[in-house]
Structure 1
Amino acid sequence: MTKTVVVTGAGSGIGKAMVTELARRGWQVVVTDVDEQAAKNCSQQLDTAAGQRHEYLQLDVTDPAGAARVADDVADRLGLDAWVSNAGISFMERFLDMPLDRVEKTFDINLKGVFICGQAAARAMVRTKSKGTIVNTASMGGKQGRVPFLSDYIASKFGVIGLTQSMAYELAEHGITVNSICPGYVATPMQERELEWEASLRGTTAEAVKQMWIDDTPLGRVEQPEDIAKALTFLLSEDARFITGEALAVNGGAFMD
Structure 2
Amino acid sequence: MGIAFKHALVTGGGSGIGKATAETLAAQGVDVTICGRRIDALDTVAAGNPRIHAHVADVTDEASVAQLYDAAQAARGPFDIVVANAGMAASAPAGRTTLDLWQQMMSVNLTGAFLTVRPAVDPMRKAGRGRIIFIASIAGLKGSPYISAYVASKHGVVGLTRALAAELAQTEITVNAVCPGYVETPMLERTIANIVDKTGRDAEAARAAVAKDNPQGRIIAPQEVADTVMWLCGEGARSVNGQAIALSGGEV
Give TM-score, length-normalised by structure 1: 0.89
CA contact (8 A) 1:3 1:27 kept: yes
CA contact (8 A) 2:5 2:80 kept: no
Matches within 5 A, 1:177-216: 177-216=174-213
Structure 2 unmatched ranges of 5 or more:
none
Q: Tell me the residue number matched to 1:90.
A: 89
Q: Tell me the residue number matched to 1:6.
A: 9
Amino acid aligned to 2:88:
I
1:59-110, Cα deviation, whole Å (9 max, x unpaired): 1101222323333554454232100000000111221212221111111010
Matches within 5 A, 1:102-181: 102-126=101-125, 128-145=126-143, 147-181=144-178
Q: Percent identity?
A: 37
Matches within 5 A, 1:217-228: 217-228=214-225
Looking at structure 1, the residues matched to 66 and 132 of structure 2 have their Cα atoms a distance apart, in angstroms, of: 15
SS at the partner of 1:222?
A: coil
Looking at structure 2, the residues matched to 113 and 206 of structure 1 have their Cα atoms a distance apart, in angstroms, of: 31
- The structural deviation recorded for 1:116 is 1.0
SS at the partner of 2:67?
A: helix
- The structural deviation recorded for 1:154 is 0.4
CA contact (8 A) 1:83 1:134 kept: yes
CA contact (8 A) 1:8 1:15 kept: yes
Q: Does 1:15 align with 2:18?
A: yes
Structure 1 unmatched ranges of 5 or more:
none
CA contact (8 A) 2:5 2:81 kept: no
1:21-72, Cα deviation, whole Å (9 max, x unpaired): 11122221111112222222211243x5xxxx33211111012223233335
Q: Tell me the residue number matched to 2:42.
A: 39
Q: Tell me the residue number matched to 1:71.
A: 69
CA contact (8 A) 1:142 1:182 kept: yes
SS at the partner of 1:103?
A: helix
- The alignment of Structure 1 onto Structure 2 pairs a total of residues equal to 248
Looking at structure 2, the residues matched to 194 and 140 of structure 1 have their Cα atoms a distance apart, in angstroms, of: 15
Higher relative contact order (CA 8 A, sep 6+): 2
